[in-house]
Amino acid sequence: MEIFRIPNPTPNIPPSKAQGLLDRLSTAFRNLPDARKPGNNTKYSLFDAACSAFSVFFTQSPSFLAFQRNLSQTVGRNNVQSLFGVHHVPTDVQIRNILDPVDSKEVAPLIREVGDTLRAEGCLSDYRVLNGTFLLALDGTDTFSSDSAIHCSSCHVTHRSDGSVLHRHIAVTPALVAPGEPRVVPLPPEFVVREDGREKQDCEIRAASRWIDNWGSHYAPWGVTLLGDDLYAHQPFCEKVKAAGFHFLFTCKPASHPTVTEWVDDFARSGQVGTHSVILEKSQGKPKGKRIPKVVRERWSFRYMADLPLRDADDALLANWFELTVTNEETGEVLYRNSWITDHPVTEGSLAALAKAGRARWKIENEHIQTLKIGGYRLEHNFGHGKRHLSNLLSSMNILAFLVHTAFEFLDDRYRTLRFRYGSRAAFFQRFATLLEWVLFDNWDHVIAVMFAKLRVDTG
């Protein structure tokens, strides 16, 4: 096996901000609590196990550790050591056994630190879009599901009508989003868990409520509007959101909100529902050669009302409501329709901004959850289930890896250029993983310097 050593093209440049972030995360992994008793079972440190597991998600290469063990046997060192400071690389089975007792909550502060770094560096200024607030989207997703014997004490259990049992892991995965911004910024997740002493199983809305309890005091002072689907648009959760210092903008479907719908219908019959419309131009497709994208004129038609009760009770919370219908101005075809409730004022001047913010919620599904599931990170893949915390811990590490690469796009011009020029995420990570199999590097900056130099050679 021939191993290459490519000199660093820029050896005298100070460490990049991306390198500094990776070094801080490596240090933080050293502080993870290790409940093991001293003895033979501590041959491998928890730090080595944690960083080794994280490296698989960071490189998007399931076989990464196997190649690095081969490097160690051939030349006495490897890139897990260089990039993360790992001393000995445990086997996959050893990694799972060592990490299973570690609660996924231990990774949350690392995710928080990356987001805090981006805010402190001024990278998120364009994410303040609705009355100067950040848009923080909430959504739940499965990170694991199986009807086989694979399960653990943290699994959510569904008993089917045919007698079979489905075991699942579910996470609420908050992320900062913004209209027109291609990147989402993941924040610490909250997992749906089996709670002792509860007759009913945990659910997404309870997990979201715990997230507010755990993180509201940290993120609310930023100035934040929570986005969510219809599940969140109910009085108890809206009251909790307001008490924590957040704003809200939640989808409000007529079928599941009869009180709001009845009030709107009553006022509509007497002509008291506000209306407003604007024409917006939207380009279809991307420029290619001499081809100019087609411009479609859309009519955004609004209905809106202030101070509608969320339920039929004397203590009902009042919220502002608006509905958007988008039609093709040329053909009259209805392209989109939705409605929301919010505590932001609804006026003719604010409706378009509110609607754009509300529609940005889809980014948590397309740009965040789908990227984690089918964009190379393989969130739903069973990397190891364990008996206690392993499945949720590895999911948290996967989200952290996605966030770190997102942060690198903000913090490092060379990295951002590489991601743009290689096109797809898959193309970038394929080259990245191949390099780490055959070339020994000193650190992360060395990797990026070599890839950037090669890109400039290839493109002239």
pLDDT in tens, 423-445: 888 889 998 998 998 899 999 99
DSSP state letters, 262-331: HHHHHHHHTT-SEEEEEEEEEEES--BTTBPPEEEEEEEEEEEEEEEESSSSTTPPEEEEEEEEEEETTT
User: How confident is the model at residue 197, as a pLDDT?
Assistant: 44
pLDDT tier for residue 39 given thresholds of 50, 70 and 90 = low
Q: What is the pLDDT of residues 262-306, one digit of tens each?
A: 999 999 999 999 999 999 998 776 666 666 778 889 999 999 999
Domain closes at, from 323, 346, 369: 346
Mean pLDDT of 206-232: 97
CB atoms within 10 A of CB 440: 17
In a domain, 435, yes or no: yes
Euclidean distance between the first and the last CA atom of the chain, given in angstroms as a whole number: 31
Mean per-residue pLDDT for 5-19? Answer: 91
Residue type at 242? K
Instruction: Specify whether 340 is located in the same domain as 259.
Output: yes
Q: Which of 175-179, 314-318, 370-374, 445-449 has the lowest mean pLDDT?
A: 370-374
Q: What percent of the chain has pLDDT over 90?
A: 73
**Percent of the chain, pLDDT > 70?**
95
Residue 149 included in any domain = no
* The pLDDT of residue 245 is above 70: yes
Residue 141 has pLDDT above 50, yes or no: yes
1 pLDDT exceeds 60?
A: no
Asked if residue 235 lies in contact with residue 317, where contact means CB atoms within 8 angstroms, the answer is: yes
Dihedral of CA 268/269/272/277: which sign? positive
Q: What is the mean pLDDT of residues 381-410?
A: 95
Same domain, 333 and 412: no
Total domain count, the chain: 2
Q: Do 342 and 393 belong to one domain? A: no
| 40 and 99 share one domain | yes
Model pTM? 0.93
Q: What is the pLDDT of residue 286?
A: 65
Q: What CA–CA distances, in Å, run from 69 to 23, 81, 96, 303?
A: 22, 11, 17, 62
Residue 235 lies in a domain: no
Q: Do 225 and 135 form a contact (C-beta atoms < 8 A)? A: yes
pLDDT band at 459 (very low <50, low <70, confident <90, very high): low
Query: Would you say residue 254 lies in a domain?
Result: yes
Q: How many CB atoms lie within 10 A of CB 123?
A: 19
- Quick one: average pLDDT of 366-375? 87
Amino acid 288: pLDDT: 62
Question: Looking at the domain assignment, is residue 190 inside a domain?
Answer: no
Let me know if residue 375 belongs to a domain: no
Look at residues 319, 346, 373 and tell me which one is the last residue of a structural domain. 346
- pLDDT score at 161: 87
Are 269 and 320 within one domain? yes
In a domain, 420, yes or no: yes
Mean pLDDT, residues 401-405:
96
For residue 434, the enclosing domain spans 17-106+383-459
Task: Find out whether 3 and 75 touch, Cβ atoms under 8 Å.
Answer: yes
DSSP code per residue over 135-157: EEE--EEEEEEESSS---TT-EE
Which of these three, 297, 322, 346, is where a domain ends? 346
Is pLDDT at 196 greater than 60 in this prediction? Answer: no
**1 located within any domain:** no
Whether 199 has a pLDDT exceeding 60, the answer reads no
Q: Are residues 322 and 268 in the same domain?
A: yes
pLDDT tier for residue 2 given thresholds of 50, 70 and 90? low
